[in-house]
C-alpha cells in the first residue's frame, strides 16, 4: 500500500511533490501528549521542527482519498517535508464549470463530466462549519440538488481538490483547465455568468485577491523564537542562571533580544513592502456583463473565471488575468516584464467555421495568446471601442493562479538557498557537538570519582555543551553579510536576499542579456537599403526625401509599428519610435468621442509633413474647397494590426491609402523570416551576403515587405482574417539598418571577468550573426577563435531530429580542430603553465535549435553549454532553461539583464542582477542603480570578500569554543572553572568586539583567477583549524602542568600571597580559613586565563586573511584598534596588577618570574601559530590540492569532468561537414550519432 498510494502532485512542474495520506489515531495522539508532558514540552518542539515525525507519530497510513492529513515531500534536491490538514466542504455540485440551472438531476459520482465528484458519505470526517457556511445559502437555493462533499487542502496559498477521475488531488487554475478553443471562448464564454453561477464558482476559486497577510508581531515572534538556535540559547541562559552566571546569561539574553528584534523588523518590513506592492489592485469596483445582457458593478474580489469584465475607457489596473474578446487596449506591463514600453493588446481572433480551416482554431493558452491577454497587476492605460460593443474581457484566472499571483508566491515561498558553506556549517556544528559529548562524559566521570553533588554534576556537565557550541555564532556569521550588504549599497547595488551574497563569491559563469545590458538601450537608424525589381539600391542615410514620400518602402515605415499617443506624446517600442521619427511623418488617432459615434473603429491615420509633398495646383473658384482638400491629401489609415510576436519574429498591419479601394498589407521583422514570406523573384540574389555583411558588423537589421490585397477583402473580413492568409506572396521592399552601440564600460568589464577565469555567455532575443558580431566586438569571443553554429532541425517525415554544424566565419589562421584546448584550469584550482596558445572554439545557436537539442539531444546539450557563448533569438522561458542547463553541469551561474523578459532567468540564477529599478526587480536578488555591467565584478568581489569573511569568522568561533573548552576541561580536572566575570570578559570584551570588527575588511580591489573554496570541509581549511587547535591545546597544557611544577606553587587560599615571599611561613595556618565555593581563584585558573585570552587574539589575527580576496587587516582600523587595545590591557593587568580589576576578574597574584615565563609562552604560541598558518597558505594549498584530487581522479564538478572527456574525444568539436542525428533507441548510452556528409 505504501508505494501504491504515493501520489505525485504537479507532475513535471517546478513544485512537484509526493503525497501520502494519513488518518489521526487517538491512542497515538494521547501517547505523544504524555511524551510532551514528560519532556517538558521539548517533544512538541521536536515535532514542530520535523513535520514527518509529527504526522507519523500521531497518525496511521490510509489512502489519499480518505486522508485527514496529508504529508507532502518536495521532489527537488532539498526533499523538504510539509503537512496539510484535509478539509471538507458542502457544495450543490462537484464541478465549478457546470451550469446548475440546466441540470435536472443530482450529479452522478461516476459521471466523467464531473471531475470533482466525491462520495456523498462523510467518511468519518467532521464537516468544516466555517467552510460549509457560504455554501448553505446556495444549497437552499438549489434544494433539488443533493449536497456534494468536496475534499481539499491548502498549501502555499494554493488549494488542491480531490479529483475522482484521476484519483489524486489537483489544482483549479481557471478557464485554462477546460482547454477551451478560441471560437468556444467567443461563443460560450463571452456572454457572462448569472449571479448564482458566480457564487457557485466562488466556492471553488475563492475570493479574487492575492492575499499577502502581514503576520502580527506576536506570531512572528513565536515563529522566530522557536528557531532551534534560540531554543539552545534559552537552554544556555537557564543553565547559567542555575549556576549563578547571571551576568553572562543577561548578556546573551540581551544579544538574543537585539538579534530577534532586528530579524522581526526586517521580516515585517519585507512583508509590508510585498503587501503594499500587491495591494494596488486588491479591491477596485469593476463592471461585469451578466447573462441577461445587464451590466452590474461589483467588487473585483467577487470576480471568478468566466466572468465577462468591461474595461473602462479611462483605463484600470487589472485585478485578474483576462482575455480580450472585443476592442483594443494599450497596456503598461512593467510589473511583469520590467519593460515600461506600452503594449497594444487586440481582441482574441474568432475563427469562423465557414471561412477558416479547423487548424486555426487552437486551444486558448495564456502563453501563446499573450498579445490578447490582459495580465493581473498590469496597467490598462486606454481602450479603443465602437458603438454597440464595449471593450470586454473574459476572466481566465483569479487570485494566486494569475501571472502576478505566481510571482508573489515565488517571493513568499522561495526555494532554500543550497550552498555548500551552509551544509558544511551544520556538519561542523555536529563535530563541535560530538566534542561537547566527550567533554560531557568526561566531566560526569570526573565529578562522580570526586564525589561531587548531583546538582553540580548536572550543571557543570551541561555547561560543557554551551561552551563548545557558541551561542553567539549566528550573530557573528550574519555580521559579515550585513557589512557586505552595506558596502554593496554604497556601490549602488541593492540586495533583497542577503544569503545570496556569499554564493556570488563562487560565480564562475555570467550570462548577459545584449540589448540594454552589453549595448546601449536605444537604437539609432544607421541607414536604409531599398530593393526595386529584385535588386538592392546603394544604401542611403535616411528615407526623409521628397522622391520617396509616396513609395511603399516609406509607407511600410509609417504604418508597420505599434505606436500610440498617450497624452499627446508618441509612445511605444523604442525601435518603432526611431523608425517613425526617421521619416518625420505625423500620427493621428481618433478621439473617444469619434470612436463612440461610429459603428466601426476609426483607424489610426499617418500622413507625411506638408513640406515633403509635391506642390498642388491652386483650386479654381468653382471647385468645392472640401473636395479639393480631400483630393490633395495623402493619408494612410491603419485598418488592422497584428502585433509583434516573438514566436513569429514579425509584425504586420493592413492599411488603406485615402481614396483607394484596395487595401495594402505591410510586414516588418527578422530578415530571414520576412524574406521567406516574399515571392522569390522580389528577393535579391545577394540578399544573404548583404545581410551577413551588416550583421557581422554588429548592426541590427529589419526587413520590410508589402502586398496589395484583393478587392474582395472588405473591412469586416479583414477584422476576422488570420494573419497567415495576409503574410504570403509578399514583395520584398528592403532593409532598415539600426545601430546598437556597445556601452563604454562593457569591453573592460568582460576583460576583467576573463582574467579572473569567469566565463561569459550572451543570451539575447536578437539575430544570431548580430549577436556573434557584438560578442567579438566586446571581447567575449577573441578575434582568432572559431565560432561553430549549431542548426537543429526537428523530426520530419519519419526522419530523426538532426543538427548540422557550420562555421560562422573563417578564422584568420587555420589550425587542426583536434588540437582545441578545453581549459581545465579550474580543476583542483591549480594554475598550470600554458605551453602554447591554441585556438579556442565557441558554439552559437538560436532559441529554436536550443529547444530541439534540449528535447532530442539531452546529452549533447551538456557538451554544448560547456563552450556555448552565444544564444540568440531566445524566448524568456528558454533563458531560464539555459540557466538550469548550466547549473546542471555544476556551474555557479550569474545573470545580468535589464529586467525585460529576464525575470525568470534572474530569479533562477545563483546571482541575478537586474539593471532595471522597475517592479520586476522584485524577482531579482540584486538590483543595480548603475545601468551598466560594471556592477557584476563589484558584486563578485564583495561576494568573495563576504565568503572569506564567513570562513574566517567560522574558524575563529570554532577556535574560540575549543580554546574555552580546553581551559574548562583542564580546570575541571582540579574541580575548578573559569569565573563568571572571566567568561564575561572573554565572551563580550574579546570575542564579540573582535568578531564584529574582523568582518569589516573590504573586498580586494581586483578580481583574481583563483576562487575561494565553496565549503568548510576542504583540506586547507580543516588542516588550518586542526593545526591551531593542536597549538592551543599544547601551550595550554604546558602552562597548566608547568605552573604546578613551580617552587612557589601551593594550593591557593584567600590569605596566600606568593608575590610576597615573607608570607610563605604562614600558609599552613590559614589554609582552611575561607573557602571559595566554586574554586575559581587559583594559580592554574589565572595562568590559563592569561594564556587563553592571548590565544583568542592570536587566532583572530592569524585567521583574518587579506589578499587575494579581502583588503589586508592593517587597513581595517577598527579591528587593529580593538586587537591592540586588548593586547595592551591584558599585558597591563598581567604585569601591573590593579586590585579592583583582579577582584572583578577573580585573578590571583603570581610571582613576577612566572609572569615573564607566561609572556614567553604567549610569544612562542603566537610565533608558532603565525608560522604554521603561513606554511599552510604557501605549501598546503597546492600539496593538499594534489593529494585531494590527483589527475587520475574524476573532478567533482560535472563541467570539469565533461571537459576531461572531450579533450580526448577525436570527434569533438564537430567538423563543419558533419550532421548529428538523434537515435530512436540509444544503444551505448549515447542518444545521437555523428555522420559525415559526402
> Would you say the pTM of this structure is higher than 0.75?
no
Q: How confident is the model at residue 136 (pLDDT cuts 50, 70, 90)?
A: low
Q: How confident is the model at residue 1030 (pLDDT cuts 50, 70, 90)?
A: very high
Give 48's contacts (C-beta < 8 A, 6+ positions apart). 54, 226
Q: How confident is the model at residue 407 (pLDDT cuts 50, 70, 90)?
A: confident
Considering only 110-114, 230-234, 1172-1176, which range has the smallest mean pLDDT? 110-114
Q: How confident is the model at residue 1220 (pLDDT cuts 50, 70, 90)?
A: confident
d(CA 962, CA 436): 9
Task: Give the rounded distance of the alpha carbon of 385 from its chain centre.
Answer: 40
> Sheet of 493-495: strands edge to edge?
493-495, 926-928, 911-914, 893-897, 509-512, 759-763, 868-872, 841-846, 786-793, 802-807, 1218-1222, 1232-1236
Report whether 34 contacts 28 (CB < 8 A).
no
Q: What is the mean pLDDT of residues 337-350?
A: 71
Q: Which of 402, 383, 378, 202 is nearest to 321 (CA)?
A: 402
Q: What is the mean pLDDT of residues 1110-1132?
A: 90
Considering only 527-531, 596-600, 996-1000, which range has the smallest mean pLDDT? 596-600
Average pLDDT, the chain: 77
pLDDT for 426 beyond 80: no
**pLDDT confidence of residue 322:** 92
pLDDT for 1034 beyond 90: yes
Per-residue pLDDT tens over the stretch 160-184: 988 888 888 888 888 887 888 888 8
Report whether 303 contacts 173 (CB < 8 A).
no
Per-residue pLDDT tens over the stretch 730-751: 889 899 888 877 888 888 999 9
The residue that leads in pLDDT, 813 or 155, is: 155
Q: Which residues pair with 91 in a beta bridge?
A: 148
Residue with cell 600571597: 1057
- Residue 615 has what DSSP assignment? P
Cell triple for residue 256? 538574543
pLDDT for 824 beyond 60: no
Give 642's contacts (C-beta < 8 A, 6+ positions apart). 346, 651, 652, 653, 723, 726
Residues of the chain with pLDDT > 70, as a percent, come to: 81
Q: Which of 164, 424, 463, 513 is catalytic?
A: 513
Report whether 949 contacts 999 (CB < 8 A).
yes
Report whether 954 contacts 1024 (CB < 8 A).
no
Looking at mean pLDDT, say which of 17-26, 354-363, 604-613, 823-832 comes out highest: 17-26
Report whether 1214 contacts 1205 (CB < 8 A).
no
Cell triple for residue 755? 582574467
DSSP codes of every residue in 1174-1187: HHIIIIIHHHHHHH
- Distances from the Cα of 355 to the Cα of 190, 349, 536, 663, angstroms: 21, 13, 38, 19
Q: What is the mean pLDDT of residues 634-650?
A: 79
pLDDT for 1025 beyond 50: yes
Per-residue pLDDT tens over the stretch 902-933: 767 787 888 888 886 654 455 678 888 888 88
pLDDT for 600 beyond 60: no
pLDDT for 347 beyond 60: yes
Q: Is 752 a catalytic residue?
A: no
d(CA 90, CA 88): 7
d(CA 274, CA 281): 13
pLDDT for 838 beyond 90: no
d(CA 161, CA 654): 47
Q: How confident is the model at residue 1093 (pLDDT cuts 50, 70, 90)?
A: very high
Per-residue pLDDT tens over the stretch 764-786: 877 777 788 888 888 888 888 88
Per-residue pLDDT tens over the stretch 649-683: 788 998 888 878 888 899 998 888 899 889 888 88
d(CA 1040, CA 1042): 6
d(CA 677, CA 683): 10
- Distances from the Cα of 1193 to the Cα of 548, 828, 1031, angstroms: 70, 10, 33
The residue that leads in pLDDT, 828 or 474, is: 474
- With 0-12 / 13-18 / 19 or more C-beta atoms within 10 angstroms meaning exposed / middle / buried, residue 850 is buried
> What are the backbone dihedrals phi and psi of residue 767, each rounded to the nearest 5 degrees, phi first?
-60, 145
Q: What is the mean pLDDT of residues 183-203?
A: 83
Residue with cell 548577459: 512
Give 1022's contacts (C-beta < 8 A, 6+ positions apart). 1016
**pLDDT confidence of residue 870:** 92
Considering only 474-483, 624-633, 844-853, which range has the smallest mean pLDDT? 624-633
The residue that leads in pLDDT, 830 or 214, is: 214
Report whether 161 contacts 133 (CB < 8 A).
no
pLDDT for 794 beyond 80: yes
Q: How confident is the model at residue 124 (pLDDT cuts 50, 70, 90)?
A: very low
**pLDDT confidence of residue 1233:** 60
d(CA 673, CA 715): 27
Query: What angle in degrees, to the nearest 10, is found between the helix axes of 1117-1135 and 1083-1103?
Result: 160
Report whether 961 contacts 470 (CB < 8 A).
yes
- Identify the sign of the CA torsion 90, 95, 98, 102: negative
d(CA 482, CA 1117): 18
d(CA 455, CA 432): 25
The residue that leads in pLDDT, 414 or 95, is: 95
Q: Which of 334, 695, 742 is nearest to 512 (CA)?
A: 742
What is the SS3 assignment for 191-252?
Answer: CCECHHHHHHHHHHHCCCCCCCCCCCHHHHHHHHHCCHHHHHHHHHHHHHHHCCCHHHHHHH
Task: Give the rounded distance of the alpha carbon of 851 from its chain centre.
Answer: 22
d(CA 471, CA 474): 7
Per-residue pLDDT tens over the stretch 358-406: 446 788 887 778 888 888 888 888 777 655 578 889 999 988 888 778 7
Q: What is the mean pLDDT of residues 450-479?
A: 75
pLDDT for 572 beyond 70: yes
Report whether 550 contacts 556 (CB < 8 A).
no
Report whether 260 contacts 224 (CB < 8 A).
yes
Rg (CA), the chain: 37
**pLDDT confidence of residue 1090:** 92
Amino acid at each position: 500500500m505504501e508505494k501504491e498510494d504515493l501520489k505525485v502532485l504537479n507532475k513535471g512542474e517546478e513544485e512537484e511533490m509526493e503525497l501520502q495520506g494519513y488518518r489521526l489515531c487517538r491512542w497515538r495522539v494521547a501517547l505523544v501528549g504524555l511524551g510532551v508532558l514528560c519532556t517538558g514540552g521539548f517533544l512538541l518542539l521536536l515535532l514542530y521542527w520535523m513535520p514527518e515525525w509529527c504526522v507519523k507519530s500521531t497518525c496511521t497510513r490510509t489512502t489519499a482519498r480518505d486522508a485527514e492529513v496529508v504529508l507532502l515531500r518536495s521532489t527537488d534536491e532539498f526533499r523538504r517535508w510539509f503537512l496539510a490538514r484535509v478539509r471538507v466542504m458542502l457544495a450543490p455540485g462537484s464541478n465549478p464549470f457546470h451550469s446548475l440551472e440546466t441540470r435536472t438531476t443530482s450529479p452522478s459520482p461516476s459521471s466523467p463530466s464531473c471531475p470533482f465528484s466525491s462520495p456523498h458519505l462523510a467518511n468519518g470526517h467532521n464537516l468544516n462549519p466555517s467552510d460549509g457556511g457560504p455554501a448553505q445559502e446556495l444549497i437552499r437555493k438549489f434544494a433539488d440538488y443533493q449536497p456534494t462533499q468536496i475534499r481539499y487542502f491548502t498549501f502555499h496559498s494554493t488549494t488542491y481538490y480531490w479529483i475522482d477521475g484521476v484519483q489524486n488531488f489537483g489544482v483549479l487554475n481557471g478557464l485554462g483547465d477546460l482547454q477551451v478553443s478560441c471560437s468556444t471562448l467567443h461563443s460560450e464564454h463571452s456572454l457572462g455568468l448569472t449571479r448564482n453561477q458566480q457564487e457557485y464558482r466562488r466556492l471553488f476559486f475563492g475570493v479574487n485577491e492575492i492575499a499577502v497577510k502581514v503576520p502580527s508581531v506576536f506570531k512572528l515572534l513565536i515563529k522566530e523564537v522557536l528557531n532551534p538556535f534560540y531554543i539552545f540559547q534559552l537552554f544556555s541562559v537557564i543553565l547559567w542562571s542555575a549556576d549563578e552566571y547571571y551576568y553572562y546569561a543577561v548578556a546573551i539574553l540581551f544579544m538574543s533580544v537585539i538579534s530577534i528584534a532586528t530579524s522581526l523588523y526586517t521580516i515585517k518590513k519585507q512583508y509590508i513592502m510585498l503587501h503594499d506592492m500587491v495591494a494596488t489592485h486588491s479591491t477596485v469596483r469593476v463592471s461585469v456583463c451578466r447573462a441577461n445582457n445587464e451590466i452590474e458593478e461589483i467588487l473585483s474580489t467577487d470576480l471568478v473565471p468566466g466572468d465577462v469584465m468591461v474595461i473602462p475607457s479611462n483605463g484600470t489596473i487589472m485585478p485578474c488575468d483576462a482575455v480580450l474578446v472585443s476592442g483594443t487596449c494599450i497596456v503598461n506591463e512593467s510589473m511583469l516584464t520590467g519593460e515600461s514600453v506600452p503594449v497594444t493588446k487586440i481582441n482574441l481572433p474568432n475563427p469562423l467555421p465557414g471561412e477558416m480551416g479547423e487548424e486555426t482554431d487552437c486551444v486558448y493558452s495564456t502563453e501563446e495568446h499573450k498579445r490578447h491577454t490582459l495580465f493581473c497587476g498590469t496597467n490598462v492605460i486606454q481602450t479603443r471601442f465602437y458603438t454597440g460593443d464595449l471593450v470586454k474581457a473574459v476572466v481566465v484566472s483569479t487570485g494566486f493562479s494569475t501571472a502576478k499571483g505566481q510571482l508573489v508566491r515565488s517571493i513568499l515561498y522561495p526555494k532554500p538557498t543550497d550552498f555548500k558553506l551552509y551544509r558544511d556549517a551544520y556538519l561542523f556544528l555536529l563535530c563541535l557537538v560530538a566534542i561537547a559529548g566527550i567533554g560531557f562524559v568526561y566531566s560526569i566521570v570526573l565529578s562522580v570519582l570526586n564525589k561531587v553533588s548531583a546538582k553540580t554534576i548536572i550543571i557543570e556537565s551541561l555547561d560543557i555543551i554551551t561552551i563548545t557550541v557558541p551561542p553567539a555564532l549566528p550573530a557573528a556569521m550574519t555580521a559579515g553579510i550585513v557589512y557586505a550588504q552595506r558596502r554593496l549599497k554604497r556601490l549602488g547595488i541593492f540586495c533583497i536576499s542577503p544569503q545570496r551574497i556569499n554564493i556570488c563569491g563562487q560565480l564562475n559563469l555570467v550570462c548577459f542579456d545584449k540589448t540594454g545590458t552589453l549595448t546601449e538601450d536605444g537604437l539609432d537608424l544607421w541607414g536604409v537599403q531599398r530593393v526595386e525589381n529584385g535588386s538592392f539600391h546603394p544604401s542611403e542615410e535616411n528615407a526623409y526625401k521628397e522622391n520617396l514620400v509616396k513609395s511603399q518602402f516609406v509607407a511600410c515605415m509609417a504604418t508597420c509599428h505599434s505606436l500610440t499617443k498617450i497624452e499627446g506624446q508618441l509612445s511605444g517600442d523604442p525601435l518603432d519610435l526611431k523608425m517613425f521619427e526617421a521619416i518625420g511623418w505625423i500620427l493621428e488617432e481618433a478621439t473617444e468621442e469619434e470612436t463612440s459615434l461610429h459603428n466601426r473603429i476609426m483607424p489610426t491615420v499617418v500622413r507625411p509633413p506638408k513640406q515633403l509633398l509635391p506642390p498642388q495646383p491652386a483650386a479654381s473658384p468653382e471647385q468645392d474647397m472640401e473636395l479639393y482638400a480631400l483630393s490633395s491629401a495623402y493619408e494612410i489609415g491603419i485598418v488592422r494590426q497584428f502585433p509583434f510576436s516573438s514566436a513569429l519574429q514579425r509584425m504586420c498591419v493592413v492599411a488603406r491609402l485615402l481614396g483607394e479601394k484596395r487595401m495594402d498589407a505591410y510586414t516588418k521583422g527578422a530578415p530571414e523570416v520576412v524574406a521567406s514570406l516574399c515571392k522569390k523573384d522580389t528577393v535579391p540574389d545577394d540578399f544573404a551576403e548583404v545581410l551577413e555583411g551588416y550583421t557581422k558588423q554588429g548592426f541590427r537589421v529589419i526587413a520590410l515587405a508589402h502586398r496589395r490585397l484583393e478587392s474582395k477583402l472588405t473591412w469586416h473580413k479583414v477584422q476576422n482574417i488570420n494573419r497567415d492568409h495576409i503574410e504570403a506572396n509578399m514583395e520584398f521592399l528592403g532593409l532598415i539598418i539600426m545601430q546598437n552601440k556597445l556601452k563604454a564600460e562593457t569591453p573592460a568589464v568582460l576583460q576583467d571577468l576573463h582574467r579572473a577565469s569567469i566565463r561569459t555567455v550572451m543570451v539575447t532575443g536578437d539575430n544570431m550573426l548580430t549577436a556573434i558580431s557584438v560578442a567579438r566586438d566586446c571581447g567575449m569571443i577573441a578575434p582568432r577563435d572559431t565560432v561553430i553554429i549549431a542548426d537543429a532541425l526537428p523530426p520530419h517525415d519519419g526522419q530523426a531530429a538532426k543538427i548540422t554544424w557550420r562555421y560562422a566565419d573563417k578564422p584568420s589562421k587555420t589550425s587542426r580542430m583536434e588540437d582545441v584546448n578545453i581549459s581545465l584550469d579550474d580543476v583542483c584550482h591549480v594554475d598550470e603553465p600554458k605551453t602554447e596558445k591554441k585556438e579556442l572554439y565557441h558554439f552559437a545557436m538560436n532559441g529554436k535549435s536550443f529547444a530541439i537539442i534540449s528535447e532530442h539531444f539531452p546529452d549533447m546539450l551538456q557538451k554544448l553549454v560547456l563552450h556555448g557563448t552565444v544564444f540568440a533569438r531566445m524566448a524568456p522561458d528558454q533563458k531560464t532553461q539555459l540557466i538550469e542547463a548550466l547549473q546542471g553541469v555544476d556551474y555557479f551561474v550569474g545573470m545580468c539583464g535589464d529586467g525585460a523578459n529576464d525575470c525568470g532567468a534572474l530569479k533562477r540564477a545563483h546571482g541575478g542582477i537586474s539593471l532595471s529599478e522597475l517592479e520586476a526587480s522584485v524577482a531579482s536578488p540584486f538590483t543595480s542603480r548603475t545601468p551598466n555591467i560594471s556592477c557584476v565584478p563589484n558584486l563578485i568581489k564583495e561576494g568573495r570578500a563576504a565568503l572569506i569573511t564567513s570562513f574566517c569568522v567560522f574558524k575563529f568561533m570554532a577556535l574560540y569554543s575549543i580554546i574555552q573548552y580546553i581551559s574548562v576541561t583542564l580546570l575541571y580536572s582540579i574541580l575548578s572553572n573559569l569565573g563568571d566575570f572571566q567568561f564575561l570578559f572573554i565572551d563580550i570584551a574579546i570575542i564579540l568586539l573582535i568578531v564584529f570588527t574582523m568582518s569589516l575588511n573590504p573586498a580586494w580591489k581586483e578580481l583574481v583567477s583563483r576562487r575561494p573554496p565553496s565549503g568548510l570541509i576542504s583540506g586547507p581549511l580543516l588542516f588550518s583549524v586542526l593545526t591551531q587547535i593542536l597549538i592551543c591545546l599544547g601551550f595550554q597544557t604546558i602552562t597548566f602542568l608547568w605552573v604546578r611544577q613551580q617552587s612557589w606553587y601551593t594550593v591557593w587560599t584567600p590569605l596566600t600571597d606568593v608575590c610576597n615571599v615573607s608570607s610563605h611561613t604562614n600558609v599552613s595556618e590559614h589554609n582552611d580559613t575561607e573557602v571559595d565555593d566554586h574554586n575559581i581563584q587559583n594559580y592554574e585558573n589565572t595562568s590559563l586565563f592569561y594564556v587563553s585570552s592571548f590565544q583568542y587574539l592570536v587566532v583572530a589575527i592569524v585567521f583574518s586573511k587579506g589578499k587575494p580576496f579581502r583588503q589586508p587587516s592593517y587597513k581595517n582600523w577598527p579591528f587593529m584598534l580593538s586587537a591592540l587595545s586588548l593586547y595592551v590591557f591584558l599585558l597591563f593587568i598581567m604585569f601591573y596588577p590593579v586590585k579592583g580589576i583582579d577582584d572583578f576578574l577573580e585573578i590571583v597574584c603570581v610571582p613576577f618570574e612566572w609572569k615573564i615565563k607566561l609572556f614567553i609562552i604567549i610569544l612562542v604560541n603566537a610565533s608558532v601559530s603565525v608560522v604554521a598558518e603561513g606554511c599552510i597558505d604557501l605549501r598546503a594549498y597546492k600539496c593538499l590540492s594534489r593529494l585531494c584530487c590527483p589527475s587520475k581522479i574524476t573532478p567533482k564538478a560535472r563541467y570539469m569532468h565533461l571537459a576531461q572527456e572531450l579533450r580526448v574525444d577525436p570527434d569533438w568539436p564537430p567538423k563543419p561537414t558533419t550532421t548529428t542525428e538523434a537515435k530512436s533507441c540509444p544503444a551505448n548510452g549515447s542518444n545521437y550519432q555523428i555522420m559525415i556528409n559526402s
